[in-house]
Amino acid sequence: HGPSVAVVGVTGAVGQEFLSVLSERNFPYRSMKLLASKRSAGKHITFEGEEMVVEELTENSFHGIDIALFSAGGSISKKFGPLAVDQGTIVVDNSSAFRMDEGIPLVIPEVNLNAMDHIKVNNKKGGLIANPNCSTIICLMAVTPLHRHSRVKRMVVSTYQAASGAGAAAMAELEQQTREVLDGKPPTCNIFKRQYAFNLFSHNSSLMENGYNEEEMKLVKETRKIWNDPAVKVTATCIRVPVMRAHAESINLEFEEPLDEDSARELLRKAAGVVVVDDRQANNFPTPLEVSNRDDVAVGRVRRDISQEGNKGLDIFVCGDQIRKGAALNAVQIAEKLL
Ligand code: 2RA
């Protein structure tokens, strides 16, 4: 009697993670439909011990579907998301297509679940909920517990983003380039048009008029929407680094009221979906490798910002799995809240 579920973009890195997370969390689906482009239709995928055939995504794919998880790019979401909603499906969209639309909930369940509490499967009417960008999710999972205790006036974020954010092909190219460079061969540069292995570069999203790139502006705008706080000051610098699947973020915070580092650490220890890794004696702090394939976001390097007055500033360092909590897990957690 559970919901009928469809996964759109099932052959991509996030699509594959949707299936893993749905299975690991025993999501109570009544039926499962795997959807992808014409190019991928016909492929066989084993899911929960059953061999399933990937179907081509069409306008008729959503008849009788209660929940559809989308991760197939913004144009597919724009074309098929509203069609699915019109047929009574609730869409959880991992693309950026609708995130900033008025009236569309942009949700991290641990942070702002109330933004979606009017959408339920048994309401028997469609809806769309947007999954925030991965770097936003990872950042706000760590900062929100602090923000709830003492409002953040200003946040400065420097991200170190994994290859997975650019898709499975980018992960494959990073591995290929690393081998080529070590073998003294010229690196194959199809995805980023430059060497990625043993290098890092400004995020590959488009540059805006103000000199920020799209990824940085997502952090600014999505934070304000998720916190429902249009006045919070945010700036970001997003960098692509040669790491496979977990993002790292250095975050500087200015609070309205004093918040000391011990209180901050205590708030983080109590926060859902967060683990504190902050061992100065052992010089042990979060790393992308250690959060990879894990649900929790890891936070460390919690310290008073010595450049700010009155104990109103903190620096922290955060790592989170981009494919998991940064995309697939967050979307499945949203779907769980629809039941
Ligand atoms: C990135 N945030 O890491 C994007 C993925 N959606 O490039």
**If residue 275 lies in a helix (H) or strand (E), which one and from where to where?**
strand 274-276
Q: Is the pLDDT of residue 157 over 90?
A: yes
Q: Does the annotation mark 134 as catalytic?
A: yes
pLDDT tens figures, 43-53: 999 999 999 99
Residue 330 Cβ inside 6 Å of ligand 1? The answer reads no
Residue 164 Cβ inside 6 Å of ligand 1? The answer reads no
Pocket test for ligand 1, best of 94, 134, 244 (most atoms within 8 A of CB): 134
Give the mean pLDDT of 24-44. Answer: 97
Contact 175, 197 (CB under 8 A): no
Q: Does the annotation mark 118 as catalytic?
A: no
- 183 dihedral zone (left: phi>0; alpha: psi -120 to 50; beta): alpha
Q: How far is the CA of 134 from the centre of ligand 1 (A)?
A: 6
pLDDT given for residue 124 in this prediction:
82
Residue type, position 333, single letter: Q
Token output for 281: 């004696």
pLDDT tens figures, 116-147: 999 999 888 899 999 999 999 999 999 999 99
Which of ligand 1's atoms lies nearest the C-alpha of 322?
3
Number of neighbours of residue 269 by Cβ within 10 angstroms: 13
Write the DSSP symbol of residue 138: H
pLDDT tens figures, 185-228: 999 999 999 999 999 999 999 999 999 999 999 999 999 999 99
Number of neighbours of residue 118 by Cβ within 10 angstroms: 9
Q: Is the pLDDT of residue 29 over 90?
A: yes
Which of ligand 1's atoms lies nearest the C-alpha of 164?
3
Q: How far is the CA of 163 from the centre of ligand 1 (A)?
A: 8
pLDDT band at 276 (very low <50, low <70, confident <90, very high): very high
Query: Which residue owns the Cα nearest ligand 1 atom 3?
Result: 165
Which of ligand 1's atoms lies nearest the C-alpha of 166?
7
- pTM passes above 0.80: yes
pLDDT given for residue 165 in this prediction:
96
pLDDT given for residue 1 in this prediction:
84
Q: How far is the CA of 296 from the centre of ligand 1 (A)?
A: 18
pLDDT tens figures, 305-335: 999 999 999 999 999 999 999 999 999 999 9
Residue of 203, 238, 247, 319 marked active site: 247
Sign of CA dihedral 75, 79, 84, 85: positive
Mean pLDDT across the chain, nearest whole number? 97
CA distance 138 to 294: 12
Q: How far is the CA of 164 from the centre of ligand 1 (A)?
A: 8
